[in-house]
Amino acid sequence: MASVNPYLNFEGNCEEAFNFYKSIFGGEFQTIMRFKDAPPNSMPNDGSDGEWLLHVALPIGKGGSILMGSDRPKSYPGAKGDVFSVSVSADSEAEARKIFEGLSTGGKITMPFDKTFWGSLFGMSTDKYGIQWMVGYSLPQTQS
């Protein structure tokens, strides 16, 4: 079965952002590469962003998900957009609250973490790097 792994792009602060995510989710980086380590002429790079991250991968959870990212080279045009969110499904209420609070630190809560009409705890925020997150935990169903 195919898997989906979010890939985030940054403007020179990818390493800072991924250290922040690592502090929330735990684990160790599976991969971390810098532009300066790429073979000459393999990437459009004028050398001024050599310390920036070419690729970073942080495994999250036990399901094989990997959060990946890189800095966008100065020579690549790009625009930030709010056309996606990264959705995190936690294994417990405590884990969901911890993740939501961590990701919201220094950012903006767009939907407070609370019980929803669909039987979950759920919240949305934009972190201090401009990435939108949705965090949820499916509450155990009770018998009527």
Rg (CA), the chain: 17
Q: Convert the pLDDT of each residue in 15-67 to its tens digit.
A: 999 999 999 999 999 999 998 887 777 666 666 677 889 899 999 988 889 99
For residue 1, the model assigns a pLDDT of 55
- The CATH number given to 1-79 is 3.10.180.10
Residue bearing tokens 């495994």: 59
Predicted confidence (pLDDT) at residue 124 exceeds the cutoff of 80: yes
Can you give the pLDDT at residue 79? 61
Average pLDDT over residues 5-13: 90
Domains 1-79 and 81-144 share a fold: yes
Task: Find all residues with CB under 8 Å of 40, minimum gap 6, and list them.
Answer: none
CA atoms of 77 and 125, how far apart (whole Å):
26
pLDDT at residue 97 is higher than 60: yes
Domain boundaries, the chain: 1-79, 81-144
Evaluate whether the domain defined by 81-144 bears CATH number 2.60.120.560: no
Pairing mode, strands 86-89 and 31-34: unpaired
CA pair distance 111, 94, nearest whole angstrom? 18
pLDDT at 47: 64
Start-end of H helices in 84-130 = 93-104
How far apart are the C-alpha atoms of 125 and 74, rounded to whole Å? 28
pLDDT tens digit string along 64-87?
899 999 988 777 766 665 667 899
pLDDT at site 78 = 67
